[in-house]
Amino acid sequence: MESATPTIGHTQSPKVLKDGNGALIFDSIMMRNASQIPKEFLWPSNDLIITADEELNEPLVDLSVLKSEDHTAIAHAAQLVREACVKHGFFQVTNHGVDQELIDAAYQEVDTIFGLPLERKLAARRQPGAVSGYSGAHADRYSSKLPWKECFSFKYAHIDHSHSQILHYFTSLFGQDLRRSGIVYQKYCDAMKELSFAIMELLAISLGLDRLYFKTFFEDGESIMRCNSYPPCNNSSLTLGTGPHSDPTSLTVLHQDQVGGLEVYLDNKWFAVRPRPDAFVINIGDTFMALSNGKYKSCLHRALVNREVERKSLVYFVNPKEDKTVKPTKKLCSSDEERKYPDFTWSDLYEFTQKHYRADVSTLQGFIPWFIAGKPSNY
C-alpha cells in the first residue's frame, strides 16, 4: 500500500507529551481541544478513503431461535450466517439475552476508567508484550499512524472457579476505587462467554458440523475484553480511531454506542455499519478463518473518529487456549482440497502480532512464512 501522507493546512505539528522512553502520551483532554493534529496521528490517504453512500447490508440474526425446537428457523439463521461469513465475515445478532442494564452499566464504567486522572491511567499501562492494562493510542508500540483512541484491556479465562477473576484484576490494579468496575465487567464477561458460545453453535451448524464442535473447542480458552474511547477530534478527516485491519483473534463480539464510525470493506468500498442498541456486532477473525480452512472470511474493518462527540465501544475477543492446535476438522477439508494454512497455536499468532507485525489486512498471510521459518526473532 502507498504511504502518501495527507496534506494539511499547517507546516508544524503541535507539541505532544512524551514519557521517559520517548513514547507519546495520549492526553485525551488536551488532544480533543487541539486545533491541529500531531503528525503521529496522520494516516495515509489510501487508508482515509471516503465511505460509500450506502450502509452495509449485513444480516440481523435472531439468536433466540437456538432455544427453540424450530429446526426450520435455526436452519434459516445458519444460512444467513453462512452467506455473510463467506462474503465478508460480518453480521449482527438480536434477541441475544444480554441484559440492557448490564450493557448500560458497562458503558458507565468506560467513563469511570477513562475519566481517571492521566497519571493514574499511565500507572496502569500495559507492559511490553502484554495485553492487559491501559493504552493511549498504542503509542507504547508504535510511533506513526497512531489510532485516535484510549483502550483498557484485560484477559478473561473461560474456566474460572473463583468467579471473581476480573474483580481481582481491577482491585489489584486500582485498589477499591474501581471495585464496582470489576464487578460490572466480571458480569459482562460472563455474559459475553455465554453469548459467544451460542454464536459458536450457530457457526458450527452453518458449516455442517456438530452443533457443539466449536463450543467444545473454545470452552477452555482465554478471551480478551477491551473498552474503547474515541475522543472527538477537530481534524477527524486526517486520522482514524482504528486503522484498516482484520482481527487476529477468532471471533469478535462488539457493542458500539449510537455515535457510529465502524466500517466494513467490501467490493472495494467502505460501508458504514449502522449502530443498533439492541444488537451485538459479530465478525470473524483470522484464527477462525484458519479453523474453517478459509471458507469463512476474516472481516476487514476500521473505525472513524467523530469531530463533535466521543465514541465508545465494548469489545470481547474470543480465543482458544494458548497451546491448542488451530486446524480445521477433516469435515471441512475435502479430499481434493488443499489445506490453506499450517497447524499453529493461538500463542504463535499472538506472539507474531505482538512482537513482529502490526495487525492489518494481511496479518495471516504475513504470519505463515514467519511461522514456517521457525519464528525467527529478527523477523
The DSSP-derived string for 310-351 is -EEEEEEEE---TTSEE---GGGS-TT---SS--EEHHHHHH
Please give the torsion angle defined by the CA atoms of residues 19, 24, 26 and 31, in that order, rounded to the nearest 10 degrees.
120
H/E stretch holding 99: none
Q: 269-272 and 344-345: which strand pairing?
A: unpaired
CA distance 236 to 184: 32
Name the region of 375 (left: φ>0; alpha: ψ -120 to 50; beta: rest). left
Q: Which of 32, 311, 339, 358 is catalytic?
A: 311
Helices (DSSP H) in 141-250: which residue ranges? 165-174, 179-206, 213-218
E-only strand ranges, the chain: 17-18, 24-25, 60-62, 90-94, 133-136, 150-157, 222-230, 242-245, 251-256, 262-266, 269-272, 280-284, 301-303, 311-318, 325-326, 344-345
311 annotated active-site: yes
In Å, how far are 43, 128, 151, 262 from 144, measured between CA atoms? 8, 18, 17, 21
- As to burial, measured by CB atoms within 10 angstroms (0-12 exposed, 13-18 middle, 19+ buried), residue 129 is exposed
CA distance 268 to 44: 17
| Catalytic residue ranges | 311
